[in-house]
Amino acid sequence: MFTGLVREIGTLRAVTRRGGVTRLAVAAPVCAPRLAPGDSLAVNGICLTVTARRGPLVTLEAVAETRRVTTLAEWRAGRRLHLEPALRAGEGLDGHFVLGHVDGTGRVTAHERRPGAWRLSIALPVALARGLVPKGAIAVDGVSLTLDDRPSAAGFTVSLVPRTLAATCLGALRPGDAVNIELDALARAAARAGAAGADGAPEPPRAGLTLADLLSRGFGRGGDA
């Protein structure tokens, strides 16, 4: 479990493939001291398992399915990556619930300056766009953000405040760049529950949990990274 708040921008030192496994060596001087083999680390929004640590260098492995669903196949040595260790009991949840299970990828269509912020526009496959909720949360390359009020079947826009730009690599994105997307798990669960009830499911939840309920309690509000 993660929050979508980037703790460090690491650097990919090496990427190798053997069979269906991709091995990554990432320089992470801030995060590395708290990591041990077996721990989880979100890398650009992808939950990966640490296999080794040597000083500031962390080694992680990804399977073929991860390459297929995410942007990982495009990564090369020198790439800067958003890093976030798994949430520990007692730590604050200041972003939103991020699982590190990327739903798919989107493509940047525009990155433009607006008063007080930058607006980032991202195109999505229709199947992913159906899961967007106005003013709901979304993770873009592992960064917790809040959707603007009019997502569509074509995609969505988010506003990036100066702190987000300073703490992440999102300011360097350009039209055509691919990004990892994870939809809001809580909003999606609520939507499915509502759909099941409408379809006449044999045992709908007795205490109705709706998307409106979650949003009214503050869930699904993205953070600033």
Taking alpha carbons only, the member of 128, 111, 129 closest to residue 120 is: 111
Taking alpha carbons only, the member of 118, 117, 120, 138 closest to residue 129 is: 138
Pick the CATH number of 8-85 from 2.40.50.140, 2.40.30.20, 3.40.190.10, 3.40.250.10: 2.40.30.20
Long-range own/partner contacts, residues 167-171 (CB < 8 A, 24 or more apart): 167/6, 167/224, 167/225, 168/6, 168/9, 168/82, 168/141, 168/143, 168/225, 169/9, 169/80, 169/81, 169/82, 169/141, 170/120, 170/140, 170/141, 170/143, 170/225, 171/118
In the CATH scheme, what is the code of domain 104-205+210-216?
Answer: 2.40.30.20
Give me the average pLDDT of each 10-residue run along the chain (225 residues): 92 94 97 96 97 97 96 97 85 72 96 86 93 90 91 90 94 96 78 53 47 52 48
The CA distance from 116 to 109, in Å, is 20
Residues 6+ apart with CB under 8 A from 163: 224, 225
The CA distance from 10 to 81, in Å, is 5
The CA distance from 79 to 57, in Å, is 14
Residue ranges, comma separated, of all CATH 2.40.30.20 domains in the chain are: 8-85, 104-205+210-216
pTM: 0.83
> 21 in helix, strand or coil?
strand
Taking alpha carbons only, the member of 57, 26, 55, 29 closest to residue 42 is: 26
Task: Return the pLDDT at 141.
Answer: 98
> 116 in helix, strand or coil?
coil
Task: Return the pLDDT at 94.
Answer: 66
Task: Return the pLDDT at 204.
Answer: 46
